[in-house]
Structure 1
Amino acid sequence: MKSLPVHSGSGDPRIGARLRNLRRRNHMTVEQLAAGADLSKGFVSRVERDLTSPSVDALVRLCRVLRVEVGDVFTAESDVDVVRLAEAPLVRLGGEGIREQLVTPSGNRSLQLIRATIAPGGRSEDELYSMDCRHEALHVIAGRFSLITPDRRFELEAGDTVSFPGSEPHGWVNPGETEAVVLWAMAT
């Protein structure tokens, strides 16, 4: 089984923005959250703007009012990230004649997209493999692409998408005479 190309993040949890988003999802004002947590409005405002960090006690009280676990504040994925293709890191999951780039944030474990360019005749290893994810999908952007499972061979063209469990053993090949461009999606 191959591992997903995940790298640890910067360590900056930016909990203020996450708390603000949770407050807004609960249709609460800063005043309501502060009153419910027995904190000052100014303090909650500074926490939401990441100008100050709450104590453990204050964070627990805020989370109690917001009806979330404290850990959810640190693992929330409410941030918006842009990954430019020119800056996307190269990854190497194996195979010949393939160039792979991780086009989602490298710390995102729940969803990863890999854009791959496969030369004519490019192929996976001889042995079928599976990925360490719950679901996998493949979308062909350009060219032709064959996905091989133990029971079938799927011949795909530009615009085609196939999805399957991440545990499904598979391999691939570009059977065409031109470059293929595909987008792999892996979700946990």
Structure 2
Amino acid sequence: MQIGEKIKNLRIKNALTQEELANRCELTKGFISQLERDLTSPSIATLVDILEGLGTNLKDFFNETTDEKIVFSKEDAFEKENEENRNIINWIIPNAQKNAMEPIHVEIRSGGRTKEIPPHEGEEFGHVLTGQIILHVGKDRHKVKKGESFYLKPGKAHYLSNEGKNTAMVIWVSTPPIF
């Protein structure tokens, strides 16, 4: 592990100069510079002081995290077809339930619908890629056509339906994850 590089990255992330970090820790700018270039090593007590000045601690600093995947392919997705409701839900980001938002790709055949989602905290966004859908929010109905989007704070039960002749495809994002 390159301690100096990691300290430098934290310092930059916190928008601090070397001098500002040094002042917070009662060290010299030269020591911080040497530390960031791995020319010197701090004592445990000094490292604790530096990390406190950067808003973290030893445990979090040394907790190695693996790089999270950023780009996902079709092979990463999980698809579930519901014959009764005439829809296919495609979880385009695997394990999105652990994230703040959960995007899905929904395909609703003519006469189909999604399951009704009860009121919940958070927000939802959808964009119709093809066809048109009806967004049902409580007793209200909203027609959303190809190229149009919807955005709601789901304080009422809601679902999508397709009363058109053609299959509709929608990108639907929920925060927090609910699908």
**One fold, TM greater than 0.5?**
yes
1:116 matched to 2:106? The reply is yes
Stretches of structure 2 that go unaligned for 5 or more consecutive residues are: none
- 1:179 shift after superposition: 1.3
Contact 1:30-1:41 within 8 A present in 2 as well:
no
What pairs up with 1:169-188 in 2 under 5 angstroms? Answer: 169-188=157-176
What pairs up with 1:136-147 in 2 under 5 angstroms? Answer: 136-147=124-135
Q: Distance in 1 between matches of 2:86 and 2:35?
A: 58
Contact 1:81-1:105 within 8 A present in 2 as well:
no
Work out which of the residue numbers 135, 142, 159 in structure 1 matches 2:123.
135
What pairs up with 1:15-164 in 2 under 5 angstroms? Answer: 21-28=9-16, 36=25, 41=35, 61-68=49-56, 81-90=70-79, 96-107=85-96, 108-125=98-115, 128-130=116-118, 132-164=120-152
Q: Distance in 1 between matches of 2:140 and 2:99?
A: 29
- 1:26 shift after superposition: 2.1
* 1:63/1:121 CA distance change after superposition, 3 Å: farther
**In angstroms, what is the RMSD of aligned CA positions?**
4.3
Contact 1:95-1:123 within 8 A present in 2 as well:
no
- 1:32 shift after superposition: 7.8
Cα deviation 1:128-157 (Å, max 9, x = unaligned): 422654111111111111111223111110
- 1:176 shift after superposition: 1.5
- 1:24 shift after superposition: 2.1
Cα deviation 1:32-82 (Å, max 9, x = unaligned): 86994989827979xxxxxxxxx9x888645422135789877x9x95611
Give the letter aligned to residue 107 of structure 2. Answer: T
User: Which of the pair has the greater relative contact order for Cα pairs under 8 Å at 6+ separation?
Assistant: 1
- 1:83 shift after superposition: 1.6
* 1:149/1:70 CA distance change after superposition, 3 Å: farther
Q: Give TM-score scaled by structure 1 length.
A: 0.61
Stretches of structure 1 that go unaligned for 5 or more consecutive residues are: 1-16, 46-54
Contact 1:31-1:41 within 8 A present in 2 as well:
no
Indicate the SS of the match to 2:12. helix
Contact 1:37-1:58 within 8 A present in 2 as well:
no
Give the letter aligned to residue 124 of structure 1. Answer: T
Instruction: Report the number of matched residues.
Output: 159
Indicate the SS of the match to 2:164. coil
Q: Distance in 2 between matches of 1:30 and 1:176?
A: 62
